Amino acid sequence: MASHSLNTLHTVFEYIWDRELPNDDFTNTLTVLGRTYAPGPPPHQEKAPDLRTLFHKFKPDQAADTEASWPREFLRDVHSRIWLTYRSGFPLIKRAEDGPSPLSFGSLIRGTVDLATVTKGFTTDAGWGCMIRTSQSLLANSLLQLRLGRGWRYDQTRECAKHAEIVSWFVDIPTAPFSIHNFVEQGANCAGKKPGEWFGPSAAARSIQVLCEANYDKTGLKVYFTASGDIYEDELFELAQQGAELRPVLILAGIRLGVKNVNPLYWDFLKKTLGWPQSVGIAGGRPSSSHYFFGFQGDYLFYLDPHVPQKALLIASEAPHESPDPNHYVEVESGLDLDSVHTNKIRKLHLDQMDPSMLVGLLVENRASYDALKHSINSHDQGSRFLNVYDSRPVLAAKSSGGLEESEFVDLGVLSMNEYDAIDDCDVGTCSALLRKERAFSHPVLVAMDPEEPEEIDASIHFDKDASILEKDPDRANETFEEIHVSETESRFEPDEPVVVSHDSAAVM
């Protein structure tokens, strides 16, 4: 009885959530990863339905009318994007002893929990894997563009071996190069993420970077990650240069464009990035969840939603039968359900509702592509863009001070409860020891050390103006100031323009 009620509730939820979105903007151009489409003429205006019609079941002919409101070529383009979602029923991902439990209220509502294995680990990523799935989508569409070209379109009536091969790299088994199992493993190695914990853009980017390097013979794709939006040519060329040419490289930028929402100052540039031919989309960017954004119309962004639970995408594992771990082999049909990784359902989100933390992807296929990207970035006003290209990394920014790590994800020091939150204190993006604490300030301070100075130096704090008084009692002889613990100076974040403090000069704030 309880199971039937849960299934009914799940069906109702899917019906409400999965309804078609009609086109209601016939003025603004539609943009999809560098391609543009005319919005088309408005449909014939019909008499509004009465109230009873609104409660009738959504019929197939109504869905067809909704689909017809979007330009055909636009829909074909959207339908050709690889769409990776929550899956259930995949080989077990073992639970960490001190990690999250696979059993949750949300998993019961969704009907995705496997009660037979719930004490051992995860057989579904529903509720925690959305940033992984959107990052997989970003990577999969990068590989699709690299191997088949931007003009390729998915045709359900004809098979494409290269397309099927790319999808097979993302199936939900441990031996697939970019499976959720391998993302979870790299999230643990590089960001201290336990199975069942939400990823942030930094953890996702680091996982992509490591997995692409490990599978370079298959993908032919290098990955360059910037945690601040700054691209340093010398580092990029060292990674991808091959003679006079540049090998294909995926540039991933982990950025935060505001505190609670995207600052309107960046709206135009954010849309422009999706309009460049190098764009392969954005992962993240919605409060309490992550989506894969692939285009825009006006001030609305189009996205693919990973929060649609489906059966695990499985193919026969390459692991031998005598594999010591039975989870590395699963007997399933050899065919891939390719239709399940494509959708023509259109969803959009206004920029003022977008979460400011995101992972921006740009695919550079050769030197000409890179030069065009650099020109596009530099042609935008520097004060309202979040990407910059420099010849090399500044000397001070390349040094670590007080435990500061290079290339860390930059945030504003605010706590967030987002499902894919990149800025929580455990999403460090490095393989070093982790620190978990609340920060009392936003920006780290780099202290310039003179090598000729004696070992024992004045470690006291000097102010360039009177310090703010937190408490002042005229009856007391002493004034109380905010105490900054030594441990808080061990910041893990590196700013774009570090503040330099020396023992004989005041901080430049």
Beta-carbon neighbour count of residue 458 at 10 Å? 9
Q: Using an 8 Å Cβ cutoff, are 293 and 302 in contact?
A: yes
Q: Which residues lie closer than 8 Å to 304 by C-beta, 6 or more apart?
A: 81, 83, 134, 137, 291, 292, 294, 343, 347
Classify residue 15 by its DSSP letter: H
Task: Indicate if 4 belongs to the active site.
Answer: no
Q: Where are the beta strands (DSSP E) in 17-80?
A: 30-32, 35-37
Of the residues 10, 268, 299, 307, which is catalytic? Answer: 307
Q: Using an 8 Å Cβ cutoff, are 191 and 427 in contact?
A: yes
Of the residues 305, 355, 411, 427, which is catalytic? Answer: 305
Question: What CA–CA distances, in Å, run from 257 to 243, 290, 354?
Answer: 37, 16, 10
Of the residues 114, 125, 130, 172, which is catalytic? Answer: 130
Measure the CA–CA gap between 326 and 143, rounded to whole angstroms.
30
| Residue from 206, 215, 212, 216 nearest 184 by CA | 206
Task: Indicate if 305 belongs to the active site.
Answer: yes
Measure the CA–CA gap between 224 and 237, rounded to whole angstroms.
10
Q: Using an 8 Å Cβ cutoff, are 135 and 207 in contact?
A: yes
Q: Using an 8 Å Cβ cutoff, are 82 and 169 in contact?
A: no
Task: Indicate if 56 belongs to the active site.
Answer: no
For 202-224, b where at least 16 C-beta lie within 10 A, e where not — what string?
bbbbbbbbbbbeebeeebebbbb
Measure the CA–CA gap between 308 and 124, rounded to whole angstroms.
12
Catalytic machinery residues: 130, 305, 307
